[in-house]
Structure 1
Amino acid sequence: MKRPCALLRFLYQFVLRLATPIGLLLLRVRFRGLANVPKKGPYILCSNHRCVLDPFTIAMGIPQHLYYMAKSELFTNHGSVAAALLRAVGAFPVHRDSADLQSLHTAEAILKRGDSLGIFPQGRVVFDNTPFRPKSGAVLLAARTGMPILPVSIWCEGPWKFGKRVTVRIGSLLPAKTFSGADKDRRLLRRCAALLADQINHQLEKGHAS
């Protein structure tokens, strides 16, 4: 997919930065590990998924314009205007629970042109603190493109709701060599996905700690 035009990217970032102080106040979001965010991309940001506002929550602390894989239902079930807005800010559809080669190729193209990608590899919102168990798509993409993964965790006590404290913790960048060869070896792919799960679960275990 093409980048949104420069005007749309500017408007998106302008509105986002204006809304960030309000969002931080209303959502009670605190960031940990912002120094781990690369100064520039490309990289793959992987996070657990606690609520539908997670892309906005993460974007409040990440300076780069992230392009997100989003479930295809968001593009088909909410009207053409919603679909157009999603595409305008760089989101693109992925068909869950299937081998969606088109979305994989779109993600590869985004990374190869130098942009960063956001993925929630659980494939759905998980409303409680169930341990993070990612599908292997993000690791497969990292192996195919030679890109590093930035592990992010979103923690709140119990089910998320407005006014509840939220901690977004950004871990150390996992270098591309960590995932080398995983696209050609299924067992290695599973081990790399388990490594990513361990990293994000370790971050979640810290809760709201500084």
Structure 2
Amino acid sequence: MSPLVSTTDDSSAVVTSITPKPSLIYQLVSYLLVFPVFRGLLKGRTSGNALVPLQGPLVVVANHGSHLDPPLLGHALGRPVAFMAKAELFRIPILGALIRACGAYPVKRGASDREAVRTATARLEEGWAIGVFLDGTRQTDGRVNQPRPGAALLAARSGAPLLPVAIINSHRALGAGRSWPRLVPVELRIGEPIPAPTGRRKPELEATTRELQRRINALIDQGVGKP
């Protein structure tokens, strides 16, 4: 997953209130693969689903502790969530078609941050929810430690609200350095949406980014509830 950090593109976006419907493959992956792993093996649960805007563009912002995070986040909110993926993955038979059907979009290796922002903004214009991990890379403690302004920039460009989500315990289930998952309870806690920044200046983006960090870490600090 490439972090979105460019703050120099001044183009504006016109967003739509239409939300893409999940494809048949997306639904099959959800019900036959992700949900059994999440609900069954990991005793997973979500809270705050009523806070998820189900229509129109949305920037979903989360902490990142595991490779499990994209499918869990993309299939637990009640609407499809699109993520960036390396362009090479789309050339792999079956896998390429699968991740594309699940809403992933390709970003070329070495592509500029500005190009990545344009690609993500185009998805927002189509009404997608776009998933962004605030640190950009996995964190060994599962918290938000070094947040980047990409999510705030996407929201400022598109006017889309930002939805903070805490993914609790995924770093213990399949964090960096682990080859096999550990069967520990995983929970997704969804927070109140916050409005997009009113401008794209660095202080505005940084203020929104810090608030997202504060909210996500506060959700994490609530702990894991009993299933």
Moved more, 101-110 or 155-164: 155-164
Whether the 8 Å CA contact 2:45–2:188 is kept in 1: the answer is yes
- How many pairs align? 198
Q: Paired residue for 1:124, among 134, 137, 162?
A: 137
Residue 12, structure 1, aligned to residue 32, structure 2: no
- C-alpha displacement of 1:80: 2.6
Match of 1:174 in 2: 194
Give CA deviations for 1:105-160 in whole Å, capped at 9, x if unaligned. Answer: 11111111212111112111113244443211110110111110010001128732
Q: Percent identity?
A: 33
Aligned residue for 1:44?
A: 59
1:207 and 2:207 aligned: no
Alignment-derived partner of residue 100 in structure 1: 113
Specify which of 27, 30, 33 is matched with residue 48 of structure 2: 33
Instruction: Tell whether the 8 Å contact from 1:48 to 1:153 is kept in structure 2 after alignment.
Output: yes
Q: Which runs of 5+ in 2 are unaligned?
A: 1-19, 174-180
Greater helix percent: which structure? 1
Separation in 1, partners of 2:207, 2:182: 36
Q: In structure 2, do the counterparts of structure 1 residues 157 and 42 end up closer, same or farther at CA, with 3 Å as the change threshold?
A: closer
Structure 1: 5+ residue stretches without partners: none
State the superposition RMSD in angstroms.
Answer: 2.6
Please state if 1:144 is matched with 2:162.
Answer: no
Q: Could you tell me which amino acid in structure 2 is paired with residue 41 of structure 1?
A: G
Change (3 A) 1:173 1:163: same
Equivalent in 86, 100, 120 of residue 87 of structure 1: 100
1:60 corresponds, among 75, 78, 81, to 75
User: What is the letter of the counterpart of residue 153 of structure 2?
Assistant: L
Q: Which moved more, 1:98-107 or 1:23-32?
A: 98-107
Counterpart among 184, 193, 207 of residue 191 in structure 1: 207
Task: Give the Cα–Cα distance (whole angstroms) in 2 for the partners of residues 91 and 129 of structure 1.
Answer: 23
Deviations 1:39-70 (A, max 9, x none): 32321101111111112212332221111123
* Cα distance in structure 1, aligned partners of 2:106 and 2:35: 29
Q: What amino acid does structure 2 have at the position aligned with 1:173? A: P
Question: 2:30 touches 2:75 (CA, 8 Å); kept in 1?
Answer: yes
**Mapped pair 1:22 → 2:42:** no
Contact 2:134 2:148 in 1 (8 A): yes
Q: CA deviation at 1:94?
A: 4.4
Question: 1:194 is matched by which residue type in structure 2?
Answer: R
- Mean alpha-carbon deviation: is it higher for 111-120 or for 12-21? 12-21
Runs of 4+ in 1 over 4 A off after TM superposition: 94-99
